[in-house]
Structure 1
């Protein structure tokens, strides 16, 4: 048995240390560092079979793709699953695992090892030993965790002489745009809501004894604590490898708990670092209106909200590529795979970044222009309809039929173009636009007749095109917009009951069925429907509380119609405002170390100016609970307006990209306090 527990900079990637010196280029460093991690892993896969879990596979997709492994000598790449194993002639195995190696994950690893015959096993772990040991149930840090893990794997192996290594790499970040990333391994994290307080472990009292502001780490169930610790530990590991000390800020109660965890882990590390980096955590639940808005401006938001998801990925879509095939069928068999997906931008082609930061119509025109150029460069013939963007794009794509070289060279462009075609042909796009109009009407009616909003929603619910998820998204939007609608609670419950009663069981989301323990028989029970309606009503009416004092997502005026003000641009404005307005209490600087406490004590005798998030060369904005690409664009526009006099660069992150339907599930139906962390 052989144990190796190192971080990626130990693997001859010394150029990473050179990147740290020109700290002004950190936005590019985030992307390069993620790619460097995978390049380091790829150096270890020669002549090996690879078993990789879904989270790691999604990160790899945005950081070089599976070709990176094959180019470095990987023999085969398989899913990390109990149904997979190595062939008798495959001696070397590499396991790339983002989840804690405990519980179900450990069982899968054991199944693969026992059904194979490897002489050498390499475990690439996305979590460090401290987080791994906590996920395994050990409250204290088990310094021997990786050594004990290697001993287990060695005992499972059929061969008596087997070399086992365990290496930690922070493989949790997937860069999706120029200055934006997601962390797929933490896609299930969502801020604690008011209706979750009943489920917390509160000593000496029930949920009425505490508010969301009173939350602390050990109130949460074990699964939720593990997910918070995984998130904090991964960021700490990433910043450690960048040789940066983080200054931590939080907006929202759950973000504060997460920030405290990161601060505690940071203070346990006694290393001194040459640079500092700011990180600001923001609760998604502080601005649900932005998350459930059906934006007509963002093409990428529409793609993510309408097209089917890519299998086993959380931030991608499945794209029908059959238009490139010379043999066309009237019906695509479900057993046949024609699936493409969104791919990372390159220096030569920034499709996603353009689609995120520009209007939807401009993005479609950009795709059309890029296709025309590609067709001309390939010397292909096309049949253009200059007056119809959809038909023009389809005609340009068809021009590549029978030209495999051209398809391969322009694969990123063709996949994005076919995503646009699929979107424009999808009838759900019309429903999306209708919902966008309804949201504008809700704001308009808020200024004219607030009490009539629920009644208007009741009429909307009668429309044939509206499904239950659509109605729920409008209810969340309206509830966040209303200052008070307690008197309308009975009307709201009655409306939800009517919508549920006309909804087919097959049309319900899986999370909804799981939440209320439904089956086809119980779905026909009026008393069950009534109980579900009341529960949804209680949850929705509790969404309206605004916990911020300096910022408000709704602007009300006696002379102007109500205006929705997205939260994240407001946060940017307060941070980068040259007048330096007070950030507390909404934007809180989280301090837990001795030096921080000393500064706090000194503030009793003399004025101590608290740090601001923009005081550092780089600021990471991380939204806990998901972000829309419209919000990424809004942040970028706010930075153009307010950060002109600052040297701070902003990197935007979240655990996932979300659609209105995702938010409906997370807010109303998902059991967020008990996420499946496979341990």
Structure 2
């Protein structure tokens, strides 16, 4: 999924940065640190620095300043050099003894000119001034969500790696002499999914991204067996269904062999990530979640919206009545988003009003009775503790949620071709969900090549402007998205593993030989959706000015 072209591009971009960092203190913000993490690894940056007196530091107001023995600094940033970013830069530099500073930014130079109201003619003058501004185009390969994919489950159930959006913490205690007790969990540094300098682990990662759950688990077993065989470890082969216990027994073979551990460290981290995901209680719940979504899908076509909401009502339970199989408030929000998104526009009547009212009341009561508010519920309700959450506050928050849910239902109302993601059932087929991305890709590669109705070509340059002018008087053919052998799809807001895999599998069947690169602002998992929809001010984002 992370195609060689994109990965090579990322590595080439970092090579330009690495050329500047010799004997420097390097400050990175979180986004650039994560790009480095996936692209070439921190060890490559430390090699390029090549000085034990120089360090990697997080770019933040409280960052440690440079000492007298550290005359050079390199700042690698993902954001616009304006506002708080400039204030932080100035503060760090003023507290340091730097004689030479380089600032590398992911934001295009033209954007800086526009943001600072500098005429284009002044660009040449800026080029020669310090700090030096360079462009690092960061492209993170985004993948996954809600399908039969192991990576999607790993990202959803394992704890997030601090400071990262696309990686998780893998518990490595199993490979040590420590007992696997809770108090020992933080004594060993966690493993992760990104293995940029381990070819075997990278090959397994690609396989996990590109296969279904069952095939992915078998691939993990195959890689572990081959690695153990190469190290002459006493492996006992067993065929049939792959179990967490079986994978654990293979991983334990490496435990007391330091050389084998070093040779296959990346592979073992992915193996442990798989085992911990398969054992996690949320993984068993995943299939139940999907089954209920399918049930809702059939109900949406056969019943009114109020009936569908009534099906959800018995599942809204306070914390003291919930078992491990019941849905948490966050999971209920995911289901509500699914219902309103798939339903699309619907008529509002008395029954719907009463159905929504029952769900609102039950949901508000559940929020109030939570023993501890999750970070998401804290943001939604505006309360940092359940003690401070009154029913009135909770109900006001839930009313706002449902306003957003109705907006979600009408989000595609202005489209002509892509109005619905719901495919009604008939005598031979059940109702199904057809993702918007799938519809877009199928339309792009439609062999009849009709003019896309909802896909707009943006004119740019004198030639396109002339064509647009002539088209008022005579027929001028507009460029078609499938005209080129390379198609770049950029999904604003995030993309899931399943969506990216779906596109990868779909395009060869529609137009063999075409290369498609899917880029996005982030990698999504189910629990990201409520936070992005209900707690993010999308019209007034914090740009740090």
Query: Of the candidates 348, 368, 371, which is equivalent to residue 486 of structure 1?
Result: 348
Q: Please name the residue that 2:146 is paired with.
A: 294
Would the aligned equivalents of 1:324 and 1:398 in 2 still touch at CA under 8 Å?
yes
The answer (yes or no) to whether the contact 2:329–2:366 under 8 Å persists in 1 is: no
Alpha-carbon distance, 1:595 to partner: 2.4
Q: CA deviation at 1:508?
A: 3.7
For residue 621 of structure 1, give the secondary structure of its aligned residue in structure 2. Answer: strand
Alignment of 1:403 with 2:257, yes or no, is yes
Q: Report deviation, 1:513.
A: 2.6
User: How far apart are the structure 2 equivalents of 1:403 and 1:116?
Assistant: 45
Name the structure 2 match of 1:580. 449
| SS at 1:124 equivalent | strand
Unaligned runs of 5+ in 1: 1-25, 151-163, 183-290
Structure 2 residue 164 is matched with structure 1 residue 327: no
User: For each residue in 1:150-187, what CA deviation from the matched residue of structure 2 results, as whole angstroms up to 9, or x when unmatched?
Assistant: 6xxxxxxxxxxxxx44131224213x4xxxx58xxxxx
The verdict on how the C-alpha distance between 1:649 and 1:615 changes in structure 2, with shifts beyond 3 A counting, is same
Q: How far does residue 409 in structure 1 lie from its aligned partner after superposition?
A: 2.1
Aligned residue in 1 for 2:432: 563
Q: Residue in 2 aligned with 1:660?
A: 526
Match of 1:359 in 2: 212
Structure 1 distance, partners of 2:263, 2:137, is 28
Determine the structure 1 residue equivalent to 2:477: 609
**Does the residue aligned with 1:102 lie in a helix, a strand or coil?**
coil
TM-score relative to the length of structure 1: 0.72
Task: Between 656-665 and 534-543, report the one with greater CA deviation.
Answer: 534-543
In the alignment, structure 1 residue 314 sits paired with structure 2 residue 199: no
**Cα gap change, 1:304 to 1:30, in 2 (>3 Å):** same
Checking the alignment, whether the CA contact within 8 Å between 1:298 and 1:359 is kept in structure 2 is yes
Q: Distance between the aligned counterparts of 1:140 and 1:459, measured in 2? A: 62
What is the aligned partner in structure 2 of residue 268 from structure 1? none
Distance 1:494 1:132 in 2: 51
Counterpart contact for 2:363–2:398, Cα < 8 Å: no
Q: Deviations over 1:80-138 (max 9, x none)?
A: 122322232112211111112222222221222122211221211222333224445x3
Query: Which of 436, 457, 463 in structure 1 is aligned with 2:312?
Result: 457
Distance in 2 between the 1:599 and 1:354 partners?
Answer: 45
TM-score by length of 2: 0.89
Instruction: Tell me which of the two structures has the higher relative contact order, counting C-alpha pairs closer than 8 angstroms and 6 or more residues apart.
Output: 1
**Alpha-carbon deviations, 1:23-47, whole Å to 9, x = none?**
xxx9633321221111121122111
Q: 1:367, 1:54 → 2: CA distance?
A: 30
Conserved in 2, the CA contact under 8 Å of 1:384 and 1:396? no
Task: Give 1:375 shift.
Answer: 0.7
Question: CA 1:130–1:409 in 2, change beyond 3 Å: closer, same or farther?
Answer: same
1:305 paired with 2:170, answer no
Q: Which runs of 5+ in 2 are unaligned?
A: none
1:389 Cα offset (Å): 1.7
Q: CA deviation at 1:535?
A: 1.4
Correspondences of 1:32-43 after superposition (within 5 Å): 32-43=8-19
Shift of 1:491: 2.1
User: Does the 8 A contact of 2:77 with 2:103 survive in 1?
Assistant: yes
Note the aligned Cα RMSD (angstroms). 2.6
1:418 corresponds to 2:282:
no
Partner of 1:216: none
**SS of equivalent to 1:320:** coil
Q: Give the direction of change, closer, same or farther, for the CA distance of 1:677–1:339 in structure 2 (3 Å limit).
A: farther
Alpha-carbon separation, structure 2, partners of 1:94 and 1:506: 46
C-alpha distance in 2, partners of 1:132/1:459?
53
Cα distance in 1, alignment partners of residues 481 and 434 from structure 2: 21
Q: Alignment partner for residue 297 of structure 2, among 419, 434, 443? A: 443
Report deviation, 1:142.
Answer: 8.3
Tell me the residue number matched to 1:99. Answer: 79
- Choose which of 416, 437, 443 in structure 2 pairs with 1:549: 416
Residue among 14, 34, 44 paired with 1:68: 44
After superposition, residues 615-630 of structure 1 pair within 5 angstroms as 615-630=483-498
Q: 2-side partners of 1:436 and 1:525: how far apart?
A: 33
Alignment of 1:120-519 (within 5 A): 120-136=100-116, 138=117, 143=122, 147=126, 164-174=130-140, 176=141, 181=142, 294-295=146-147, 297-333=148-184, 335-344=186-195, 348=200, 349-382=202-235, 388-450=242-304, 451-462=306-317, 464=323, 465-483=326-344, 484=346, 486-487=348-349, 488-503=352-367, 504=369, 507-519=372-384
Structure 1: distance between partners of 2:393 and 2:128: 47
Q: Cα gap change, 1:298/1:565 in structure 2, threshold over 3 Å: closer, same or farther?
A: same
Q: CA deviation at 1:459?
A: 1.4
Distance 1:554 1:91 in 2: 61
Change (3 A) 1:135 1:312: farther
Q: Structure 2: how far apart are the matches of 1:135 and 1:307?
A: 39
SS at match of 2:103: strand
The number of residues matched between the two structures is 522
User: Could you tell me which residue of structure 1 aligns to residue 539 of structure 2?
Assistant: 673
Distance in structure 2 (CA, Å) of the matches to 1:562 and 1:40:
51
In the alignment, what sits opposite 1:250?
Answer: none
Q: Per the alignment, do residues 506 and 66 of structure 1 end up closer, same or farther by CA in structure 2, a change over 3 Å counting?
A: farther
Q: How big is the shift at 1:668?
A: 2.0
> Counterpart of 1:350 in 2: which secondary structure?
helix
Change (3 A) 1:615 1:565: same
SS at match of 1:96: strand
Task: Quote the offset at 1:337 in angstroms.
Answer: 4.3
Q: Distance in 1 between matches of 2:404 and 2:124?
A: 42
